[in-house]
Structure 1
Amino acid sequence: MSAVDNCVFCKIVKGELPAVKLFEDADALAFMDVFPASVGHALVICRDHHANLLDMPDDGLAATAVVARRIAQAIMTALRPDGFQIRQFNGAAAGQTVFHYHVHIVPVHQGVGAPAHGRERSDPHVLEELAARIRAALA
């Protein structure tokens, strides 16, 4: 079995695994992180399988960055955090746990830290409620 066959994000792209989606187009997909580092933590992935930043073609990288910016703006509008972090990990030593290029958008509130990765699975109903607010801000 290939890396693509075992990739959780490829399975989400193919509809084989569920995700609370925020946005999708021909190049990228944005959805809520099920192990959020903070409330509203979202992921933006490229549809094609590329293990990390160094494997990404320029056009896919640009398309993913544009979607990440749109999602970050919608999170800021919908959830009103004090700021946000864009995180992107490359290699296990750097904290990458899913080896499919993706960007984390992590809302940050003044005085509240956010770990690199969340430890607890979020309630699916909470994720859907947050996603509905973010999707409304995208409209």
Structure 2
Amino acid sequence: MSGCVFCGIVAGRVPAFRVVDEPDGVAFLDTRPVFKGHLLVVPRSHLVTLADLPVEALTGYFGLVRRLTVGVEAGLGAGGTFVAINTKVSQSVPHLHTHVVPRTKGDGLRGFFWPRTRYVDDAEAASHADRIRAALPGRA
């Protein structure tokens, strides 16, 4: 897509420190990493959100993400990884991308990046679960 920086990286028009360039996606270093080695993994085609990723592409795309988590841990000596996708809210580039962030014990990153809350009671929790379940699209 014209004007999309991630499409430019995939096409080779925008420079990036690529780690992987495969049919299932492209992975490159984030220019503003949470920690050094923070990767962004993008599908080759311009898709805005996870919901836009075709079902038939799930295995290949998330297989690539999985392989990269192993590579980040082994290659950087990380104790683990944080894997995340923002969809619409806080999605700074409107092109599906998955963050793979190296983690080490004591790195200062504490859980999620947002405040936590509690349900008033079990009935409120059950109501939220029911509303989500009722809105789920059919199985593919």
Task: Specify the TM-score bucket, using the shorter chain as the normaliser.
Answer: 0.7 to 0.9
**How far did residue 6 of structure 1 move?**
1.3
Cα contact 1:40–1:75 (8 A) shared by 2? yes
Task: Report which of the two has the higher share of helix.
Answer: 1
Give me the TM-score of the superposition, normalised by structure 2: 0.74
Per the alignment, residue 137 of structure 1 pairs with: none
Q: Which amino acid aligns with 1:99?
A: P
CA RMSD, Structure 1 to Structure 2 (Å): 1.8
Percent pairwise identity: 33
What is the letter of the counterpart of residue 26 of structure 2? L
2:85 to 76, 81, 88: 88
Residues matched between the structures, number:
112
> In the alignment, is residue 33 of structure 1 matched against residue 43 of structure 2?
no
1:108 aligns with 2:103: yes
1:62: how far off?
2.2
Amino acid at match of 2:82: Q
In the alignment, which residue of structure 2 is the partner of 1:124?
A: none
Query: What code does the residue aligned with 2:78 have?
Result: P
Q: CA deviation at 1:24?
A: 1.4
More contact order relative to length (CA 8 Å, sep ≥ 6): 1
Q: Taking structure 1 as the reference length, what is the TM-score of the superposition?
A: 0.75
1:39-78 equivalences under 5 Å are 39-78=36-75
Distance 2:105 2:29 in 1: 22
Alpha-carbon distance, 1:114 to partner: 3.9
The CA deviation string for residues 11-35 of structure 1, in whole angstroms up to 9 with x for no partner, is 1111110011111111211111111
Which ranges of structure 2 fall in alignment gaps of 5 or more residues? 114-140
Return the offset for 1:84. Answer: 0.7
Q: List alignment gaps of at least 5 residues for structure 1.
A: 118-139
Residue 97 of structure 1 is matched in structure 2 by: 92
Q: CA deviation at 1:63?
A: 1.5
Shift of 1:50: 0.5
Query: Contact between 1:38 and 1:114, CA under 8 Å: does it hold in 2?
Result: no
